Structure 1
Amino acid sequence: MEAENNADLVSVDLPLPFVHGLLALTHLMDNRVTGALRSALEEHQRTPTALKPETSTRIASSKRASPVPHNTGLFAEILGQRVQGGTLPDLFARCVDLIHELDPSAIERLADKKTHARRYVARRSQDVHFRSPHLKTIEAKSGWWVSANVSEPQIATAMRLLARAANLAFGKDFVFPLTTPRYP
């Protein structure tokens, strides 16, 4: 009977972030689909990959966010995909980009969240630091702006809120800080 079920399956190449997004919605799928997705993902993860830092984020000030020395472990993991950034703001921007690829409405939900002096993400640079618009911001590839003036605890809070906005379990589906390699 199992052989007959496998004959009904079709193999399709999909971008990895899309597969991770589908796996986050496994409660809506039947066991054959989730099993096929998980086995394909496990096969892909046998070879470790990491997103390489790029200089694609745009800083909206003459000062640059100071880069952290290499090999310091500025990583997060979202649905099994490792994300790396050169600075804490860059890492957060890359996480925003990945979640935006999977669920743009999650970033809209995060845009509604703010502290007493800043928004976690905004469509316009000047809307991030609404009390201190002179503070630096960076633009993510997705077009969202984030603060470049943040500490690690502030980024940790932002990451938790990003996970919550995307309906992901922080510490399981969304891991930050990623202190040890999660790949063999």
Structure 2
Amino acid sequence: MQVSKDGRSWRVGTAADVEWIAGHTTAGISITTAIPPIYDAYATTHQADDVTVTACEHALVEDLITQTPDQPWWLAYLDTGAHDIVFPHAPRVSLYWNWSYVLVEAGPEQALTWRTGHMRHGHGSLPDLFFPVDRSWLVSALWDDTWTCIGGPEPLIDTIHRNPLANAHRVRPDEDALPPGLTRE
């Protein structure tokens, strides 16, 4: 199936496009609740008090672009019933605890511009989950978390960790994913 936006057609993803995630995460407080335990390195990132949402999101996406060969990205928007999912009439895929996502093949530009209003900030644009077609990394923000989880190759996580605007904190797969200074609600 295809959907239209910005004068183009975009491919809608299916369960087959996320089967490598579905059923491969573990319930709990570790990063593997959001990211399957298949990557070399992991981190969490969240907006620092002195950084705008836009600056934080752009820093993360720029780091992902510089560490990823040119290719499409899968963008997934969680259907909460109350937040922008960009394509409200598109079919859904199920992830995590049978949460419904709209999954569309696009790219970094669309990741930064399509959404209007984010459930965690009230503003911001990033999808709730996204990854390149080659699955070399995965970014996922779970519904009830105020931070974002990332899994990928060591050089990518190093790059994000060194970027002060991304405000990243390295975690091991068995560690609590909660970033320093944040509390669970």
**Higher relative contact order (Cα pairs below 8 Å, separated by 6+ residues):** 2
Structure 1 and Structure 2 fold alike (TM over 0.5): no
- Greater share of strand: 2
> Given the two structures, how large is their TM-score scaled by the length of structure 1?
0.31
Structure of higher CA gyration radius: 1
